[in-house]
Amino acid sequence: MKTYCQPESAYQVGRSGGDIRNVCSAPQRQAMQPAFAWGQNYYQISVKIQSLEQQVSDLRAEISAEIKANSGTPPADVFFLQTDIFDLNIRIRQLEQNQRRYARWP
């Protein structure tokens, strides 16, 4: 428990989306809380990125289906779907940049 009740361990738990087990003393848990929150920030951004990446994948599948349904000729609405993908990719890059801030416990 000595190594578990350290801020670095709390950071790793938060980063992986876990919860701190109630095995540490109150002062140790208090010292662990900022690191845990820092790790949670990283995890929460990861979840958002995964969701946006899934949206991009879904839009690409929709584009492919639209083109296939039109005998290989992209319909006009494909442009709007591609614009949506572009916008989502920008948001993903922004989140990744923000996530780098939380990549390590300071």
Mean pLDDT of the 14-32 span? 94
Q: Please determine, for residue 5, whether its predicted confidence score (pLDDT) is greater than 90.
A: yes
Q: pLDDT of 40-94, one tens digit each?
A: 999 999 999 999 999 999 999 999 998 888 887 778 889 999 999 999 999 999 9
Contacts 24+ apart (CB under 8 A), 46-50: 46/99, 47/17, 48/95, 49/92, 49/95, 49/96, 49/99
* pLDDT-based confidence at residue 1 (cuts at 50, 70, 90): low
pTM (whole model) above 0.85? yes
